[in-house]
Chain A
């Protein structure tokens, strides 16, 4: 196993980051990061605080624009898209959905409205058809409602359907945010610390949802998390970041035993030889 990340061939990869560098003033958040996400895998992105994990997600979803490097998504149709040049809403249109570390839901809306917004890119209709709400536009709304109800069913959110999101407990909000991301019918799902601030039971059910999404629906998932135990249980492959660089990649077991990882992330034992 090589300590450098991204040497693997691009075969079957749906997302490729090449030499991505992101700076904020004097601070370098990503320092020439090269990595890939393979089709239908559950990739975990781990690393100590400030390693640049969230920056990776923000670059992929278009919220940050890297100064150097390229980010290429292979779309559902096989076409390749340079994400580093697209606006966030265009990237969402390509099927990249995500959640945030500090839940970014529409707090004044109900769960249902949040999920309907998740369907935005798949819907049509402008001001006029919306204002008239007649015929086709009404059918569209109802059809999307039907799809949203399936997600509500999948995530067990039925009792919360018409609750205002801001009034829900934290754990539930995380589920709603995940459901909203799923409503986009993602080609690539990015989850930023989906189990942060959850208790053991909630973590377990979240991990279960992530696995279901990945295995049953065959969605490619990238998870950023601090919780090593959860990551090691569910990930197919792990990429470890430190100071904006990839320092290791491989199966959870390989990564766990990688000396560079132990150094950087898990900490060196005081009595280590």
Chain B
């Protein structure tokens, strides 16, 4: 964290705060104001995108806790989101569980499933663990498509819209508040976690697992906790997808979803909550941007517009490669650079290290 002249704390509570500096609090306030006003000025198209970003943020924060903070790769987060989506959808559809309770229950179920699929991390690290979680993805995918009696197989499940105080929340405007509150809550939870005992243990396991065990961190237990916490948020995101779309299909939770979420946290910044949000926003909005671009040049350059939809995947790939080469620490780091620049502006001689989460 860059040093701030003239800011002193006389209590450890203040020094250990999430946003210890006034500037940070102002920035957060401005962002909160934007989030608050956004739905009143944005049309349904943008609101829908905003909801997708908020949901993706929840999932990305979850994955980032596991991959970025604890250093355990997962290729199974698409599957974990599927478990969240199906569990909450089926609970509400068949048992009439209220949507809030079913979302929470789904997240808990997913946490348990995630911890189970995290068991191989006792012995496996890195790429080997990635392959083991790939197995989780394949197993769940197979279950989704073949356990027809429960999941409907290739058929979509229609989930009733959430109802709050007798009002059906079937518009993007109404859902926006749920999505934003959940995403904000997830971000706050993760930020708190990372500055407390268990979060430090996560990072210790990532950095140096032998040293972690020697200072008393139960490495295996910590890995399982990371899998469970991460899957909890993945399940939460999955359940919210179910209630946002009101429809569950297996195609939304394939291996490519897992990889998309990995792309979000890599582009956003590993181990960073801000990065999870930025990555989720970029990866969610990029296809929409390309679509819009295609539409706007439809008349002037129809040939290019015709090719653009197919180029989407390629653009994706290029963006990720460019990030890996030029800013491996992601959007979060870029934002940090901007902040550091203005931090000392106009005296550009001191470069701070921006480590805020």
| Chain A contacts for B10, CB-based, 8 A | none
| Chain B contacts for A131, CB-based, 8 A | 189-190, 192-193, 196
Is B13's CB under 8 angstroms from A130's CB? no
| Chain A contacts for B12, CB-based, 8 A | 142, 145-146, 149
Known: A87-B213, A117-B217, A120-B216. Contact between A164 and B200, CB under 8 A?
no
Known: A117-B200, A126-B198, A145-B12. Contact between A132 and B215, CB under 8 A?
no
Q: Cβ of A93 < 8 Å from any Cβ of B?
A: yes
From B190, B208, B212, B216, A93 is in contact (CB under 8 Å) with B216
| Chain B contacts for A180, CB-based, 8 A | 215
| Chain A contacts for B192, CB-based, 8 A | 130-133
- Chain B contacts with A in 91-110, Cβ cutoff 8 A: none
Is A133's CB under 8 angstroms from B196's CB? yes
Q: Cβ of A162 < 8 Å from any Cβ of B?
A: yes
A39-72 vs B, CB cutoff 8 Å, 1 = contact: the mask equals: 0000000000000000000000111000000000
Shortest Cβ distance from A161 into chain B, in angstroms?
A: 10
Is B1's CB under 8 angstroms from A121's CB? no
Measured CB to CB, the nearest residue on chain B to A125 is B197
From B195, B207, B215, A118 is in contact (CB under 8 Å) with B215
What's the Cα separation between A125 and B189 when bound, in Å? 14
Shortest Cβ distance from B133 into chain A, in angstroms?
A: 20
What's the Cα separation between A140 and B192 when bound, in Å? 14
Q: Cβ of B201 < 8 Å from any Cβ of A?
A: yes
Shortest Cβ distance from A136 into chain B, in angstroms?
A: 11
B-contacting 9-mer, from A29-37, A97-105, A195-203: A97-105
Q: Cβ of B155 < 8 Å from any Cβ of A?
A: no
| Chain A contacts for B189, CB-based, 8 A | 131-132
Is A89's CB under 8 angstroms from B198's CB? no
Measured CB to CB, the nearest residue on chain B to A177 is B211
Q: Cβ of A253 < 8 Å from any Cβ of B?
A: no
Q: Cβ of A124 < 8 Å from any Cβ of B?
A: yes
Known: A120-B217, A137-B196, A142-B12. Contact between A164 and B207, CB under 8 A?
no
- Chain B contacts with A in 192-250, Cβ cutoff 8 A: 192-193, 195-201, 203-204, 207-208, 210-219, 225, 228-229
Is A164's CB under 8 angstroms from B355's CB? yes
What's the Cα separation between A105 and B208 when bound, in Å? 7
Is B216's CB under 8 angstroms from A121's CB? yes
From A61, A106, A129, A138, B204 is in contact (CB under 8 Å) with A106
From A100, A108, A140, B207 is in contact (CB under 8 Å) with A108
Q: Cβ of B291 < 8 Å from any Cβ of A?
A: no
Is A113's CB under 8 angstroms from B217's CB? no
Is B193's CB under 8 angstroms from A184's CB? no
Is B219's CB under 8 angstroms from A113's CB? no
Of B189, B192, B225, most A-chain CB atoms within 10 Å: B192
Shortest Cβ distance from B202 into chain A, in angstroms?
A: 10
Known: A100-B211, A104-B211, A106-B211. Contact between A89 and B200, CB under 8 A?
no
Q: Cβ of A266 < 8 Å from any Cβ of B?
A: no
Is A133's CB under 8 angstroms from B195's CB? yes
Is B13's CB under 8 angstroms from A89's CB? no
Is A89's CB under 8 angstroms from B217's CB? yes
Q: Cβ of B149 < 8 Å from any Cβ of A?
A: no
From B197, B199, B225, A124 is in contact (CB under 8 Å) with B197
Is B213's CB under 8 angstroms from A88's CB? yes
What's the Cα separation between A126 and B217 when bound, in Å? 12
| Chain A contacts for B217, CB-based, 8 A | 89, 117, 120
B12-23 vs A, CB cutoff 8 Å, 1 = contact: the mask equals: 110010000000
Shortest Cβ distance from B191 into chain A, in angstroms?
A: 9
From B190, B200, B355, A116 is in contact (CB under 8 Å) with B200
Is A120's CB under 8 angstroms from B211's CB? no
Measured CB to CB, the nearest residue on chain B to A146 is B12
Is A125's CB under 8 angstroms from B198's CB? yes
B130-174 vs A, CB cutoff 8 Å, 1 = contact: the mask equals: 000000000000000000000000000000000000000000000
* Besides A92-B213, A120-B200, A130-B197, 10 other A-B contacts (C-beta < 8 A): A62-B214, A92-B214, A109-B204, A109-B207, A121-B215, A124-B197, A133-B193, A141-B195, A141-B197, A142-B12
Can you name 7 A-B residue pairings with CB atoms under 8 Å? A87-B213, A105-B211, A125-B196, A125-B197, A131-B190, A141-B16, A181-B215
* Interfacial residues, chain A to chain B (CB-CB below 8 A): 61-63, 87-89, 92-93, 97-98, 100, 104-110, 113, 116-118, 120-121, 123-127, 129-133, 137-138, 140-142, 145-146, 149, 162, 164, 180-181, 184
